[in-house]
C-alpha cells in the first residue's frame, strides 16, 4: 500500500480518517504499477476532436477563463479516458510547472496512467472529486490541488469526459470544486440545448502511446489455450524472441498482433516491462519518438511498435537509425513490430526484421470466439457472465470483419444490457448476413426486426404484430437482411 502518500493529518495521528474512496484509489494505483515518485508520460496525440462535448466544454471554459485570467488556476477538458484535450491558464509559472509533470494536452491522466489525481478519481468513480497535496499517489503531483467533475451526455447518459481545475496546493479547494461543478453543469446544459439534429459522437481515437508496467502490458491476462492457429503463431514469436530476433507480426487490424507479441515477450522475459507505441498522427511523431525512443535497448524493457506501416517515411528513417544504434549496444534489443503485411513495412525498417509471424484473423479461428467473449465479458464486468448456447453459436458463426476489436465492442455492449449474454443482447449485425452496407433507415429497420424476433418465444406472427406489418413482410425482411437467429 502507498504508505508514503497518506495525508499528513492521518500520518501525524490527528485522528482524521482517510476517506474510503481515496484508499481505494491508492490501492488501484498500486495495482496499476504507478510510480510513487514521478508520473510516467502517456502521450496520446493532440488531434482535434469535433464532438459536441468538446465544442460545448471549450466554450464554457473559455468564458470562465476570461473571468479567472489573473488567477493561478488551470482549466482543462478531458475525455472519458483521462486524455487532456485542452488547457487554459493565464499563469505562466503554473503552466510551466504542469508541463513538467505532463499535465498537458495530448497526455493521459487517468488513475491507470498517473495514479490518484483529481480528474482520474472523478472519472473512475464518476462523481465530483477533489485531491489535495499529498493525497495524490505520486509525489510529483503533491504541490497541486485538483478538482474535477465528470460530464455526462444529457441525452444518452454516456460519460463524455471531465472538467478539471488545477491550482497550487495552498489554494482553496472548496472554491475550486464549486467552479468545476458549475463548468460541468453548464457544459451539459449547453450540450442539451444543442443536441437536436446533431450527428452521433465520432469514435474516440485509438491508443497512440502507452507505457504499462509489467503486469499491465498488452496481452496481460489474455487466454493462452486458444486454437492451434493462434498457438502456432505464438510459439513462432516465442522462439524468435528467445533467440534475440526482431519480430514483425503481420495481419489484419484488430486480429491481436500486439497482444500476441506482448504475450510472447512475457513468456520469454517474465519480469520485463513492455512499452506499446502505436503510430500517431504525423504532427505528433516527433514528440512520440522522443517519449519512448530513449527506452529502446534499456535492460529489462521490451518495445512493441504498432502499425509501423502508417509511419511517415522520415519517421521510419529516424526509427531505423535509432534501432541500428541500439543494435550496437551491449544489451540485446527486445523489439517487435506490427503491420498489415510484410511488403507494407517502410523501407528503413524492413531490413531490421529477422522473423515474420502471420497472425490469423478471427474468422479463421471460430472456436476461439466464445472463449474470447467469455474472457472479455469477465474483464468488463469483473466476474463471469454466462453466454447462452444460442448466443455462442451466433458469435461463432459471424465473420468478424473487425476481428477481436469488434468482438470486444460487441461484448461490452452485450454485458451492459444484462447479466447474461443471449441473442437478445447481441447487435443486429451479428445476426444478419447482409452483404451490402446499410443506410441509416435500413439499419434501424433491421435492428427493430431482430429485436422483435429475439424476444423469448416470439414467432414471425408476434413480430409482425409488434412491428405493425404483415407476416409476409416479416419473412421478406428476414430474407432481405439474411437474419439468422440460432435455434429458430
Domains in the chain, please, with CATH?
A: 3-194 (3.30.450.40), 209-360 (3.40.50.300), 364-481 (1.10.8.60)
Q: Which three cell numbers stand for residue 463?
A: 413480430
**pLDDT tens across the length of the chain (488 residues):** 444 544 443 443 344 567 888 988 998 888 888 889 988 767 777 655 578 999 999 999 999 999 888 899 999 999 998 999 999 999 999 999 999 998 999 888 998 889 999 999 999 888 899 999 889 999 999 999 999 999 988 887 788 999 999 999 877 777 899 999 999 999 999 998 887 644 444 433 434 334 343 333 333 345 557 889 999 999 999 999 999 899 999 999 889 999 999 999 989 998 888 888 888 776 777 778 887 888 887 888 888 999 988 887 777 888 888 887 766 555 567 889 999 988 888 878 888 899 999 999 998 898 899 999 998 888 888 888 899 888 888 888 888 888 988 898 899 888 888 888 888 888 877 877 655 555 666 666 666 776 666 777 777 777 777 777 777 776 676 776 666 776 55
Task: Return contacts of 45-49, CB within 8 angstroms, 24+ apart.
Answer: 45/106, 45/205, 45/208, 45/209, 45/280, 45/281, 45/284, 45/288, 46/105, 46/106, 46/281, 46/283, 46/284, 47/205, 47/281, 47/284, 49/79, 49/85, 49/202, 49/205
**Residue 89 and residue 195 in contact, taking contact as beta carbons nearer than 8 Å:** no
pTM (2 d.p.): 0.54
Strands 301-306 and 273-278: parallel
What is the structure's pLDDT at 47?
58
Closest CA to 168 of 135, 143, 139: 143
Residue 302's Cβ-side half-sphere holds a number of Cα atoms within 13 Å equal to 30
Q: How far is Cα 315 from Cα 319, in angstroms, rounded to an integer?
A: 6
Amino acid at each position: 500500500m502507498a504508505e508514503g502518500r497518506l495525508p499528513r493529518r492521518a500520518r501525524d495521528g490527528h485522528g482524521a480518517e482517510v476517506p474510503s474512496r481515496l484508499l481505494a484509489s491508492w490501492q488501484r494505483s498500486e495495482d496499476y504499477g504507478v510510480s510513487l515518485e514521478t508520473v510516467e508520460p502517456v502521450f496520446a496525440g493532440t488531434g482535434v476532436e469535433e464532438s459536441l462535448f468538446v465544442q460545448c466544454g471549450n466554450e464554457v471554459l473559455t468564458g470562465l477563463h476570461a473571468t479567472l485570467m489573473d488567477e493561478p488556476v488551470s482549466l482543462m477538458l478531458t475525455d472519458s479516458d483521462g486524455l487532456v484535450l485542452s488547457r487554459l491558464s493565464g499563469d505562466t509559472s503554473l503552466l510551466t510547472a504542469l508541463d513538467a509533470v505532463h499535465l498537458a494536452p495530448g497526455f493521459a491522466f487517468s488513475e491507470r496512467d498517473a495514479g490518484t489525481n483529481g480528474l482520474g478519481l472523478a472519472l473512475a468513480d464518476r462523481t465530483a472529486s477533489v485531491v489535495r497535496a499529498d493525497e495524490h499517489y505520486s509525489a510529483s503531483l503533491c504541490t497541486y490541488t485538483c478538482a474535477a467533475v465528470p460530464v455526462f451526455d444529457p441525452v444518452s447518459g454516456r460519460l463524455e469526459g471531465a472538467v478539471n481545475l488545477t491550482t497550487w496546493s495552498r489554494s482553496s479547494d472548496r472554491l475550486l470544486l464549486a467552479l468545476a461543478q458549475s463548468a460541468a453543469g453548464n457544459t451539459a446544459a449547453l450540450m442539451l440545448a444543442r443536441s437536436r439534429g446533431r450527428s452521433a459522437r465520432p469514435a474516440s481515437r485509438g491508443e497512440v502511446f502507452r507505457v504499462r508496467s509489467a503486469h499491465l502490458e498488452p496481452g496481460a491476462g489474455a487466454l493462452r489455450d486458444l486454437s492451434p492457429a493462434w498457438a502456432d503463431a505464438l510459439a513462432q514469436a516465442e522462439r524468435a524472441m528467445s533467440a534475440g530476433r526482431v519480430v514483425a507480426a503481420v495481419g489484419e487490424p484488430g486480429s491481436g498482433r500486439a497482444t500476441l507479441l506482448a504475450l510472447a515477450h512475457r513468456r520469454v522475459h517474465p519480469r520485463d516491462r513492455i512499452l506499446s507505441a502505436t503510430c500517431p498522427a504525423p504532427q505528433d511523431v516527433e514528440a512520440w519518438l522522443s517519449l519512448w525512443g530513449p527506452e529502446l535497448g534499456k535492460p529489462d524493457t521490451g518495445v512493441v511498435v504498432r502499425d509501423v506501416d502508417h509511419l511517415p517515411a522520415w519517421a521510419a528513417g529516424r526509427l531505423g537509425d535509432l534501432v541500428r544504434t541500439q543494435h550496437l549496444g551491449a544489451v540485446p534489443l527486445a523489439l517487435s513490430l506490427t503491420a498489415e503485411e510484410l511488403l507494407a513495412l517502410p523501407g528503413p525498417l524492413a531490413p531490421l526484421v529477422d522473423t515474420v509471424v502471420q497472425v490469423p484473423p478471427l474468422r479463421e479461428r471460430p472456436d476461439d470466439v466464445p472463449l474470447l467473449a467469455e474472457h472479455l465479458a469477465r474483464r468488463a464486468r469483473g466476474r463471469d457472465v454466462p453466454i447462452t448456447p444460442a448466443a455462442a453459436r451466433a458469435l461463432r458463426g459471424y465473420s468478424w470483419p473487425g476481428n477481436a476489436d469488434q468482438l470486444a465492442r460487441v461484448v461490452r455492449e452485450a454485458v451492459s444490457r444484462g447479466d447474461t449474454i443471449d441473442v437478445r443482447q447481441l447487435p443486429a449485425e451479428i445476426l444478419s448476413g447482409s452483404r451490402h452496407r446499410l443506410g441509416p433507415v435500413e439499419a434501424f429497420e433491421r435492428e427493430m426486426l431482430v429485436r422483435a424476433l429475439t424476444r423469448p418465444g416470439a414467432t414471425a406472427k408476434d413480430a409482425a404484430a409488434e412491428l405493425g406489418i404483415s407476416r409476409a413482410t416479416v419473412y421478406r425482411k428476414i430474407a432481405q437482411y439474411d437474419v439468422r437467429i440460432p435455434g429458430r
